[in-house]
Amino acid sequence: MGETSAATAREVEETRKQMEDKVAKLSERAPEEARKLMKRVAFGIISAVVVLLARKLVDKLWERATGELPPTKVMREDEADSD
């Protein structure tokens, strides 16, 4: 019985040590993962702003070139008139 309980105690100790090592690795990676996540969020926000600005620029260029409202604004005004 001594061998079984000693073996069990060793297994428990090994498992505990493995879990501590995993937690330590995760703790080391956490700041890096947070930075990566913030970069992704910032890229998404910047991309959305750039797309909006590009659409506004295209609308202004369309108005200057043709003298008419862009097709997207015409459709919006038509939808608003029908309500």
Q: Which residues contact 59 (CB under 8 A, 6 or more apart)?
A: 70, 72, 73
- Please tell me the distance from the alpha carbon of residue 31 to that of residue 28, in angstroms, as a whole number: 7
pLDDT in tens, 22-55: 988 888 888 999 999 999 999 999 999 999 999 9
pTM: 0.57
| Alpha-carbon distances of 68 from 25, 37, 48, 73, 76, rounded to whole Å | 61, 43, 26, 10, 14
